Amino acid sequence: MSRLDSFINRMTAQRDILNHIRDALSLPDGAVLEVGLGNGRTYSHLRENFGDRRIVVFDRQFAAHKTLAPEPEDFIEGEIRETGQGFVGKGAALVHSDIGTGYPEKDAITLQWLPDMVAGMLTEGGIAVSGLPLSHPQLEELPRLPNVEEGRYFYYRKTV
């Protein structure tokens, strides 16, 4: 598969899962966390579809389109492994994480801390959406959408 096709599949999966959550799943009260702002495409989609909630974004630096600048208190700059700790236990409703690199050895390091952090960020019943698989006893994988390729993108409901 070309890298273009792979990119398109990833973006389509993100959008379709987020739209499915909006249209068909219940979300508890709480903020939305965008873990890995990048150039802000997904953040823009989150704002359009979950704009009635606080949306907090994380990245090493702000590199999104300037029209997407969040309120200063909603942009958390730095290494997510450290900055994310400040949102553990704060009861987020939805966490979207798109910080995979496509390099298995780098992603393996991220996966040493990301599942615990995401589970800790969510309130009970909250939903995690992730490009990397989040193996965690409190995260129950939700059924793959028919148009999302197996192993491409994942989403989970936080249990007790």
CB of 126 or CB of 131, closer to ligand SAM:
131
Distance in angstroms (rounded) separating the CA atoms of residues 90 and 114 = 16
CB of 82 or CB of 140, closer to ligand SAM:
82
- Give the shortest CB-79-to-ligand SAM separation in angstroms: 5
CB of 31 or CB of 76, closer to ligand SAM:
76
- Give the shortest CB-14-to-ligand SAM separation in angstroms: 7
With CB atoms as reference, the residue minimizing the distance to ligand SAM is 38
Q: For residue 12, which of 150, 157, 149 has the smallest C-alpha distance?
A: 149
Distances (CA, A) of 102 to 1, 22, 78, 84, 131: 14, 28, 21, 22, 10
Contact by Cβ (8 Å): 102, 122? no
What DSSP designation does 133 have?
A: -
- Give the shortest CB-16-to-ligand SAM separation in angstroms: 14
Distance in angstroms (rounded) separating the CA atoms of residues 131 and 148 = 12
CB of 38 or CB of 133, closer to ligand SAM:
38
List of residues contacting ligand SAM (CB under 6 A): 36-42, 59-60, 79-81, 98-99
- Give the shortest CB-160-to-ligand SAM separation in angstroms: 28
